[in-house]
């Protein structure tokens, strides 16, 4: 059963605290009192995001010969959203508290009360009746029986396109990156000479006016997607659907380093499927507040290309020269929310480790390819040439990795600081360094320390930075 909002927030409290304390995530517009459900990614947060994007692009584009990249516009012609069905179908059920004016997303509210699937397949009337029959109270003011009837609420952000208010056209911030790929399908096939099956991938911002944006960065109105549309011949989509579910799960475990026991694949029941899908599975992660969707893999049939061909009057069919036929490809879509992945990585890495004398060490055990900083260099003292030698090592290593130079505070405090950042290795330059040319290198997870020659630092790190 889903947790109440208060328990969700409490379960994430240590993650939120370390995120701000160590520069991963800051509240948006904080000096002006904040702006609800907006977040800024700090110096360490942006490094993790960049590393995750780089790893995704490497494994889903650069290491494959059947996937190409794209970066489509956030602002698209309004007819795109008519064709895709977003204007008529991209809605969530909404109700308001008549007393305090709190807006509630009905299906999520009901699932919080009764468990996953409690709202599945229910009409607006059925949702309204359920809430009233069970006398559920407003989550903000506690009033019973104060809710309006449930109604549909469109999730797209509307804006204006034009030089003057009078002549401006109403357009929308994109709620997904997928449609930018579909409307460029013809362009890509013409210039790339790729044969079906092949995919088009992109990373970009999307915007949804979520009714119940919550759970820290899990559900936000502005988010980033890493999405791919894989075009295949009709009749082969089931095979490709299974392939991409397995490929995505393998990437999460063996590349990103998420614990396998915290991941599961949940197949959608027939009544859950979107109107355009013949199969959908979610890879879910076990967050502190419970299981939540991390990655959606959907078999979208030929719905999108059919709609855009109809609305644009452009021929979008693929010409298969080998089989001497033309057809609209079917599409399998793995769509991953970068911000949700970031949160999963944080939760998976976070640990409070008990040491001797009831001492507790907070550590982020990031995979080395994900961690924001790879190495930290410490001079034992800021004198006697130790700082100069440490800066020399720092200057050399920064040509290969993102490295920090830290001379502030006692060595123990510096270790703890970088444990909370998730830095895999810390190197200390001390007086022995000046006499025998060795340094102390400390490994984050085991806290094991060993002496190695300065000349062997790079080879030592290369062997372990995987």
Q: Convert the pLDDT of each residue in 165-177 to its tens digit.
A: 777 888 999 999 9
> Where are the chain's structural domains?
8-87+156-346, 91-154, 373-464
Write the pLDDT tens digit of every residue in 412-454. 999 999 999 999 999 999 999 999 999 999 999 999 999 999 9
Segment 368-392 shows an average pLDDT of 95
3.30.930.10, 3.40.50.300, 3.20.20.70, 3.30.2420.10: which CATH number matches 8-87+156-346?
Answer: 3.30.930.10
For residue 58, count other CB atoms closer than 10 A to its CB. 13
Q: Tell me the C-alpha distance between 200 and 192, whole Å.
A: 11
Do the first three CATH levels of 8-87+156-346 and 373-464 match, i.e. the same topology? no
Write the pLDDT tens digit of every residue in 53-108. 999 999 999 999 999 999 999 999 999 999 998 888 778 888 989 889 888 888 88
Question: pLDDT at position 207, please?
Answer: 95
For residue 178, count other CB atoms closer than 10 A to its CB. 24
Entry pTM: 0.88
Residue with tokens 């790879």: 374
pLDDT at residue 4 above 90?
Answer: no
What pairs with residue 353 in β-bridges? 361
Residue with tokens 């340094």: 439
**Which band of pLDDT confidence, cut at 50, 70 and 90, is reported for residue 2?**
very low
Helix (H, G, I), strand (E, B) or coil at 252: helix
Question: pLDDT at position 319, please?
Answer: 94
Helix (H, G, I), strand (E, B) or coil at 86: helix
pLDDT at residue 1 above 50?
Answer: no
Write the pLDDT tens digit of every residue in 295-349. 999 999 999 999 999 999 999 999 999 999 999 999 999 999 999 999 999 999 9
* Residues 6 or more apart in contact with residue 433 via CB below 8 angstroms: 386, 389, 439, 454
Question: pLDDT at position 413, please?
Answer: 95
pLDDT at residue 112 above 90?
Answer: no
Q: Tell me the C-alpha distance between 25 and 346, whole Å.
A: 11
Q: Tell me the C-alpha distance between 288 and 37, whole Å.
A: 19
Is residue 94 within 8 A of residue 104, CB to CB? The reply is: yes
Write the pLDDT tens digit of every residue in 191-237. 998 899 999 999 999 999 877 667 899 999 999 999 999 999 999 99
Question: pLDDT at position 443, please?
Answer: 97
Q: In what order do the strands lie in the sheet with 438-443?
A: 403-405, 375-379, 425-429, 438-443, 449-453
Which homologous superfamily does the CATH classification assign to the domain defined by 373-464?
Anticodon-binding domain (3.40.50.800)
- The DSSP-derived string for 322-379 is TTTEEEPPEEEEEEEEHHHHHHHHHHHHEEEEE-GGG-EEEEE---TTT-S-SEEEEE
């Amino acid at each position: 059963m889903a947790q109440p909002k208060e328990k969700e927030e409490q379960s994430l409290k240590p993650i939120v605290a370390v995120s701000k304390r160590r520069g991963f995530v800051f509240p948006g517009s904080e000096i002006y009192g904040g702006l609800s459900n907006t977040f800024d990614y700090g110096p360490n947060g942006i490094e993790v995001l960049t590393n995750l994007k780089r790893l995704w692009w490497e494994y889903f584009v650069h290491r494959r010969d059947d996937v190409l990249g794209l970066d489509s516009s956030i602002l698209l012609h309004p007819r795109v959203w008519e064709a895709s069905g977003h204007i008529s179908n991209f809605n969530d059920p909404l109700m308001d508290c008549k007393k305090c004016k709190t807006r509630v997303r009905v299906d999520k509210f009901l699932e919080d009360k009764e468990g996953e699937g409690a709202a599945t397949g229910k009409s607006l009337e059925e949702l309204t009746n359920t809430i009233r029959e069970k006398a559920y109270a407003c989550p903000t003011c506690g009033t019973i029986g104060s809710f309006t009837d449930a109604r549909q609420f469109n999730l797209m952000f509307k804006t204006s396109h034009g030089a003057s208010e009078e002549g401006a056209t109403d357009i929308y911030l994109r709620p997904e990156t997928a449609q930018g790929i579909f409307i460029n399908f013809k362009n890509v096939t013409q210039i790339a000479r790729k044969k079906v099956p092949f995919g088009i991938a992109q990373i970009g911002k999307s915007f949804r006016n979520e009714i119940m944006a919550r759970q820290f960065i899990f559900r936000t109105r502005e988010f980033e997607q890493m999405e791919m549309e894989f075009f295949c011949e009709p009749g082969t989509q089931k095979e490709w659907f299974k392939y991409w579910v397995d490929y995505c799960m393998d990437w999460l475990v063996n590349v990103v380093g998420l614990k396998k026991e915290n991941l599961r694949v949940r197949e959608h029941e027939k009544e859950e499927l979107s109107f355009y899908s013949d199969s959908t599975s979610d890879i879910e992660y076990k967050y502190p507040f419970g299981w939540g969707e991390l990655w959606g893999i959907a078999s979208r049939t030929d719905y999108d290309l059919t709609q855009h061909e109809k609305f644009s009057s452009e021929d979008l069919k693929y010409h298969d020269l080998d089989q001497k036929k033309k057809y609209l490809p079917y599409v399998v879509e793995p769509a991953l929310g970068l911000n949700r992945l970031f949160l999963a990585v944080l939760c998976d890495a976070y640990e409070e480790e008990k040491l001797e004398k009831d001492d507790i060490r907070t550590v982020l055990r990031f995979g080395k390819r994900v961690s924001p900083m790879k190495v930290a260099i410490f001079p034992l003292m800021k004198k006697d040439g130790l700082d100069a030698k440490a800066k020399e090592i720092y200057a050399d290593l920064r040509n290969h990795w993102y490295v920090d130079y830290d001379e502030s505070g006692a060595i123990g405090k510096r270790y703890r600081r970088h444990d909370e950042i998730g830095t895999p290795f810390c190197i200390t330059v001390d007086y022995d360094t000046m006499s025998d040319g060795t340094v102390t290198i400390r490994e984050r997870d085991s806290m094991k320390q060993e002496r190695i020659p300065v000349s062997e630092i790079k080879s030592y790190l290369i062997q372990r930075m995987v």
